[in-house]
Structure 1
Amino acid sequence: MITKSFVWGILPVLAAAANSTFDYNALSLRTVGARNTLDWRIWLEHHNEPISFWHDIPLHPSQDKQIINFIVEIPRHTDGKIEIARSEPLNPIFHDARDGRPRYVESVWPHKSYPFVYGSIPQTWESPNFNHSFTDAPGDNDPVDLFDIGQDPGFVGQVKRVKVLGALALRDGGETDWKVLGIDVDDPIASLVDDFNDVDKYRPGLIDSYRDWFTYYKVPRGDALIPIVNNTYVNATFATSIIAQSHTYWLDLVKGAVDSNEINYNQTSRPDIPGSFVSRYNATAHLGLPAQSDELPAQPKLERYEQWFYLDGGYGVIGENVV
């Protein structure tokens, strides 16, 4: 159980020195409820007071714009659809629901559930208020997603530093859904790769395999393939520009300059934005949050998610009834 512990996953002292305005060493987690239930929540704490994963962690830990902070929602090879709660105060991490039950991702051969570390980029937003130029579709109303191909498996609520290597532009359900490709800065090959084209030299076939996974991972539940614009990655420079643009959309969101689409952007780090500011020192009482961790034993999940699913050449499920 992780309650009062480092959430900053790598080189905490050096990271804090690089960004002296935010003390990453002071991060911890407040966990309430049982895993695999809809009541389970994890709040992020700073000096033992609650803050927002989405709005309070800086986008960049240093001046290098290719290096960004990353919130781990789903550790590698786990299947729970864990994400940041957009509509709740201080945006805790929770287990997303489908048909009134906790949602999971099936293991589609050869990948075990999520084959990488997955999560979101703080202080970014895919605005649904207009069609984005590269995809010609509105944003999905979420922070921008990122998948980390480093070897550290991660843990829920961890704050990592990652290097941006590229991105995939998905049109999922008619919405823009960027998936940024990143690598943990402490990974053995992180200093050797600067763009998605560099990865194959050290991990052959990896990024093509992950691109394909994004197109078919929802098929076992009965959904169609997900199209990717141009069916390939954009490079690191373009991906970095998308992140920067999404940061400006986020600023408009927390300033109340645009339609928030029922997003709760109460946060603790920006007293200069009075419409969204809540002091972290009274946030627990003011927002009615649990005052301390109370983690319960995890509940079992459906047997369906313990098995493998296999797809034929036409991306149909072999020998299984999709549900």
Structure 2
Amino acid sequence: KSGDVIPVKILGTIALIDEGETDWKVITIDTRDELAAQMNNIGDVEKLLPGLLRATVEWFKIYKIPDGKPANKFAFNGEAKDREFAEKVVEETHQFWQEMMENKAGEHQLDLKNITLANSFTINDEQAKQYLETRPASDTVEAVPIADQVAIDKWHHVKLI
């Protein structure tokens, strides 16, 4: 379910360019999936699931069009990069995260309070409880009005040129 941490095997990556910045999409497989033993690199995805990568790139290309935004662009002509490349991307972005959490990354607008990371924005258990008490409850979600539900469920057909 949403928020769960699952064990995955990295197979490759796609480099989406989102509003001028690289937005890496890491292609993985759940290690408990029946195909996991047969998938070790991005080429295995096309071999075992023909068309899936092309459809994935297509979806990332067009998913913002219904909101009036242009089609997304990709680095490397939309070609997926292999596992070795993807693992380097993950390592590099992990370094960026570590620098941010150690406050070496300069100013940011994220709330980085935590109870587990030393040399970070660590707060104690009592401070964490007080902090959580000031936050709105997550179970106070309001029902979506019918008019909005219709807009949410609207289908959009996009013709690619």
Report the TM range for the smaller structure's normalisation. Answer: 0.7 to 0.9
| CA shift for structure 1 position 308 | 1.9
| CA shift for structure 1 position 208 | 1.2
Q: Deviations over 1:114-148 (max 9, x none)?
A: xxxxxxxxxxxxxxxxxxxxxxxxxxxxxxxxxxx
Mapped contact 1:284–1:291 kept (Cα < 8 A): no
CA distance in 2, matches of 1:214, 1:292: 33
Aligned partner of 1:245 in structure 2 is 92
Q: Deviations over 1:163-220 (max 9, x none)?
A: 1111111111111211111111111101110111101232221111001111111111
Q: Deviations over 1:47-96 (max 9, x none)?
A: xxxxxxxxxxxxxxxxxxxxxxxxxxxxxxxxxxxxxxxxxxxxxxxxxx
CA distance in 1, matches of 2:14, 2:138: 37
Q: Could you list the runs of 4 or more consecutive aligned residues of structure 1 that deviate by over 6 angstroms after TM superposition?
A: none
1:263 equivalent to 2:118? Answer no
Aligned partner of 1:149 in structure 2 is none
> SS of 1:264's equivalent?
coil
CA distance in 2, matches of 1:278, 1:285: 10
Map 1:273-284 to 2 at 5 A. 273=119, 275-280=120-125, 282-284=127-129
Aligned partner of 2:71 in structure 1 is 225
CA distance in 1, matches of 2:66, 2:138: 36
Quote the RMSD (CA, aligned, Å): 2.2
Q: Structure 1 residues 295 and 184, CA, compared in 2 at 3 Å: closer, same or farther?
A: farther
Aligned partner of 1:310 in structure 2 is 157
> SS of 1:304's equivalent?
helix
How many pairs were matched up?
A: 158
Aligned partner of 2:3 in structure 1 is 157
Structure showing greater radius of gyration is: 2
Aligned partner of 1:189 in structure 2 is 35
CA distance in 2, matches of 1:156, 1:298: 20
CA distance in 1, matches of 2:29, 2:143: 30
| CA shift for structure 1 position 245 | 0.9
| CA shift for structure 1 position 296 | 4.8
Aligned partner of 2:83 in structure 1 is 236
| CA shift for structure 1 position 159 | 1.6
Aligned partner of 2:20 in structure 1 is 174
Report the structure, 1 or 2, having the larger strand content: 1
Unaligned 5+ runs, structure 1: 1-154, 315-323
Amino acid at match of 1:246: T
Aligned partner of 2:45 in structure 1 is 199
Q: Structure 1 residues 302 and 253, CA, compared in 2 at 3 Å: closer, same or farther?
A: same
Amino acid at match of 1:283: A
Q: Structure 1 residues 188 and 281, CA, compared in 2 at 3 Å: closer, same or farther?
A: farther
Report the structure, 1 or 2, having the larger helix content: 2
Amino acid at match of 2:46: D
| CA shift for structure 1 position 280 | 3.8
TM-score (norm 1): 0.45
| CA shift for structure 1 position 288 | 3.8
TM-score (norm 2): 0.86
| CA shift for structure 1 position 228 | 0.6
| CA shift for structure 1 position 248 | 0.9
Amino acid at match of 1:284: K
> SS of 1:223's equivalent?
coil
Q: Percent identity?
A: 27
